[in-house]
Chains A and B, each alone.
Chain A
């Protein structure tokens, strides 16, 4: 009933085939949803929102004196990923992360890839993400990016493309876990009929990943999560992860360096810290090395890190592999270090620093998506087909002035997923961010954050620009238990 008049409108749809029949994996879910009336769906939607509101994972509405709080918009219709698609994503992600870690290690040490001319050296040294203080660093077990969240979109051909690698401090994992917890209460029958792979053990995996890098293989290391504090928009996630692992959540002011060791100030005196999962950006972690005005960091932290008395996740400096211009070279990076073709596809990317590419970009601004290499959250972006002549002119000037700061990509036809809207269920564009951990091996949590552009026709899924989220169901192969 609820899906009776649903149309895929020629887009790739996450639940329906082009002919309007549900994808095989989505069949039982569609049957469940179709049994519900529109009012019943709305009631459950409201119930989900109430649960999220009560859990207190809310934002203050900016400038509102009454202290009004809102949740990140959530849509109760899940997005699904088939076992076959997932298997390919998993392999693609693992390959990419392995190659990117070799790349970062190389860039801050031997720089073979530059000497071999695979990437122009000036692309590296002109990047704001290249951190000189990291030169010569060699993190424990050669792993730089212990936690990452690769952004994918699915184009009209049904293929997943990597948009960003998010190798610094990717956020959003708490929504994956919370959304799942909510949906289990809202659509319990659907879970019973499908083999949805569990995500609730993420905290366990994260803990083991962090324990793996404890200095000297300590058996019972003191692991902490480091947060900028309560006013950070991801604070709830920091607290959530500390809670999921049962470890302390510290702020910079809780920590102190003495004799090249990091300690936390406890009610029983100073207590040494072994591993820090830091959710503070590189430039703020140590005012002695990076921004001297940072009040969030710990003076002397980098000294301890270099000496190996404390482990950091992620290592500082990983942003270099996350630069949107370097992104264009990832297929070459995979080939160079692993001798393999990249499994996960890149989106064709034009580097404005390159003369031929820039010429093409400037001539095709109305067709391309232009992105500032160093901004995220949907800021500093031009979506060509939806832009005005004036906006295109503005970006042309920006690109000419600072070509290194911009890249461009063809406008993809993002896939859509049925979403509960004011007028019933309509298709809305979605992206997908699975989360990976690099400890003893590379593990990708079977699930992830599906962000949805709630505005009709919008391609921007960022929460700062009217985006919401959905639960993501990765379907297990036959025999995989539903937990």
Chain B
């Protein structure tokens, strides 16, 4: 497969997963606020920006972080490279350059999502956008379904899969971070009466509530953290996603010796496999996620060096 094409497939899939997850971020925050009867003031929306990693950009261009500005910044701001609109635009531009490789329906789905986004892009209130976020998440499911059911498992699939799994690992970790941030900006964790409701909302936003309940039955922050980071069985957990990336790298490598991408990946997976929820909570989830993200970037760079750079 052409290196340029592999790169585009990887990013097409990453950007779509990113758009899907940003929609989930907004959704979980919205539900947390409703459940806790919090007012729409600044303190409740800023954490979403903080965990997105784009707080610097936001602070430069917006005065306040309220529902309106945060929704605009994360959804339709065309100057924010990680807004849903920009992610979908970029996913489509990448898809356009690989149209000959991906099944027709995959292209059509992305194209449709792009036009849907354009049609909604003047709306600003959450109430008006609720259905749109749902559409974005559903498009994510459809896209993944098409990928799984219609693409041969050659390198194109491996790159698409890898892009999706890396992005999802990153975003699942950040999603946990949103919740920590909103209630416990200083890092200490306590059990509260609201826990079941709040953590339930987090689980729901990643379609994990039912699966979690089957495993742990009752909701508390330790088990939710353990589940979203370390459940090998749950397909959105960080560890599951990373194992998928490692296995995709393995199938791409035809020569038997491990390359730079595999080496960096091994470093990252060892780190995750060597930790546990209790330890992470004790030493600070936010700090853990920072380090995790740094290592994730190294993997991304190594993939670029190994496969895409020409």
Interface residue ranges, A against B (CB under 8 Å): 53-56, 66-67, 225, 230, 235-236, 239-240, 242-243, 247-251, 253-254, 264-268
Contacts and interface: CB of A to CB of B under 8 A. Distances in A.
Given A248-B5, A253-B4, A236 B99 contact: yes
Contacts of B112: 54
Interface in B233-267: 252, 254
A266 B1 contact: yes
B96 interface: yes
Q: Could you tell me the dominant secondary structure of chain B's interface residues?
A: helix
12 contacts: A56-B107, A235-B96, A243-B99, A247-B100, A249-B99, A249-B100, A253-B310, A254-B4, A265-B2, A265-B310, A267-B155, A268-B155
Given A250-B2, A267-B155, A230 B111 contact: no
A225 B97 CA distance: 13
Interface in B58-111: 93, 96-97, 99-101, 104, 107-108, 111
Contacts of A249: 5, 99-100
Contacts of B3: 254, 265-267
B118 interface: yes
Contacts of B97: 230
Nearest to A265: B310
Contacts of B159: 267
Contacts of B30: none
B1 A267 contact: yes
A54 B2 contact: no
A370 B142 CA distance: 54
Interface residues of B, number: 26
B108 A248 contact: no
Contacts of B100: 225, 239-240, 242-243, 247-249
Contacts, number: 67
A248 B2 CA distance: 8
Nearest to A225: B100
A264 B108 CA distance: 28
A265 B1 CA distance: 8
A440 B159 CA distance: 38
Contacts of A230: 93, 96-97
B4 A56 contact: no
A55 B99 contact: no
Contacts of B104: 55, 243
Contacts of B132: none
Contact of B111 (A56, A67, A243, A254): A56
Contacts of A243: 99-101, 104
B6 interface: yes
Contact of B252 (A235, A240, A267): A267
Contacts of A253: 4, 310
Contacts of A55: 104, 108, 111
A72 to B, nearest CB: 16
B143 to A, nearest CB: 15
A230 B97 CA distance: 7
Contacts of A268: 1, 155, 254
Contacts of A264: 2
A267 B6 contact: yes
B307 interface: yes
B84 to A, nearest CB: 16
Nearest to B254: A268
Given A242-B100, A249-B100, A267-B1, A54 B254 contact: no
A54 B111 contact: yes
A242 to B, nearest CB: 4
A266 B2 contact: yes
A240 B159 CA distance: 21
Contacts of B101: 243
Contacts of A225: 100
A243 B101 CA distance: 7
A248 B4 CA distance: 11
Contacts of A254: 2-4, 310
Q: Counting chain A CB atoms within 10 Å of each CB, which of B1, B4, B107, B112 scores highest? A: B4
A56 B108 contact: yes
A296 B97 CA distance: 16
B255 to A, nearest CB: 9
Given A54-B108, A54-B112, A253-B4, 15 more contacts: A55-B111, A56-B96, A66-B118, A225-B100, A240-B100, A242-B100, A243-B101, A248-B2, A266-B1, A267-B1, A267-B2, A267-B3, A267-B159, A267-B252, A268-B1
Contacts of B107: 56
Contacts of A56: 96, 107-108, 111
A230 B100 CA distance: 12
A107 B214 CA distance: 79
List 4 A-B pairs, minimum CB-CB distance, nearest first: A242-B100, A56-B111, A239-B99, A243-B100
A281 to B, nearest CB: 21
A249 to B, nearest CB: 4
B115 to A, nearest CB: 8
Contacts of A240: 99-100
B52 to A, nearest CB: 24
B228 to A, nearest CB: 32
Contacts of B118: 66-67
A120 B252 CA distance: 60
Q: Counting chain A CB atoms within 10 Å of each CB, which of B99, B155, B254 scores highest? A: B99
Nearest to B93: A230
Given A236-B99, A253-B4, A267 B108 contact: no
